[in-house]
Structure 1
Amino acid sequence: MLEKYRYIAVEGPIGAGKTSLARRIADHIRADLLLENAGENPFLPRFYQDPKRHALATQLFFLFQRSGQVQDLQQSDLFRHNTVADFLLDKDLLFARLNLDDDEFRLYQKIYDELQPRAPVPDLVIYLQARPDILQARVLGRGIDYERSISTDYLRRLADSYTRYFYSYTAAPLFIVNCEHLNFVQSDADFALLMQQIQAMRGNREFFNRAV
């Protein structure tokens, strides 16, 4: 039944598992997969070491990268191929507000407005939530060297930014998942449970929290 959603976007803070879930959903419904490919950003390791110095370059790289991706998506035939993405273009503004100072953000906003990136509106957005300490544990568990310097405080501020953004999000149906006790990668039962909950969705905004 998930095949009725031609374009699904999975979002959430670092460590929430959005890429893993996007991969599994795409495989499940035999959809095209669109990934943000953060590892291609040459400024990202430097940003985690010295955020103030490298924040603007990091954000501009992501902006141009994702603008090109959503342009390709806009030109593709979404009526013939389902697509699952692990990002929304709007997240760029969310990260920019969090990481840039006022002058840098004004410059970033001018470039963003000049580019006028436009992405198709998803048929469904899945937003993954988890506590900052759990996010950090998952980030450390990935074993990526430059991510080891990500602090719990940064993840807390990032998670708060996502919460504020999705609190007023109305552009597409939104399925909010507390993923603290769900393992989409290693547990077929957890993945099947999530798919059942999404398929049972009736309104434009629902929340799923699996009890321990």
Structure 2
Amino acid sequence: MAAREYGQYDGVARALELVGERWALLIVRDLLVGPRRYGELAAGLPRIPSNILAARLKELQAAGVLRRAPRSRVVVYELTPYGRELEPLVLGLGAWGVKALGDPREDQIVTPDAMTISLRTAFRPQVAAELPATAYAARLGAAELLIRVDGPTLDVTGGSGPVDLAFTAGPGIHRLMTGELAPERAIATGVVEVLRGRGDLLDRFADTFHLAA
């Protein structure tokens, strides 16, 4: 049970008691992508102190939001069905937060899990349904996401594979996804670097994934 209590009999207050402590929702965000080992969670949240990560995992487990599960002789953390109910709330919070995101600072990073959730947040299935199936590879540091769009269906995984467009980007990719930066300008300024494939498909990417700023 989370240490903070608000002394109010209210659903919002209770929700904040369970997942409102610092780092808690970012842990949930990463677990919405998939089960993670302790070390993977720590790597995805490089600034979280180890004692805080351990405490949040314990609190979220006690709240029934996540559970420990054995997988191939290792223990992973995964969301419970109750915890997965937070997905639309996390996506909505991300869409709301991007309005105040501003320009990225030099010390800010984009992690694969954070980018996966951003893509889910920004995905416009009604637009994608009218476009040809397209596969993208987005390289973020040493990690690469394989993004497959087929009609109104989005699939984001790690790794590599055949794609129509491969590009590398940093935190500034959010400016492309909000429409603040046109695709051709994103390429010209180095915010996005095309690695292979048709560079004009970045326009399709920007149409398919849009965050309202």
Structure with bigger strand share is 2
Give TM-score scaled by structure 1 length: 0.27
- From the CA coordinates, give the structure whose radius of gyration is larger: 2
Structure with bigger helix share is 1
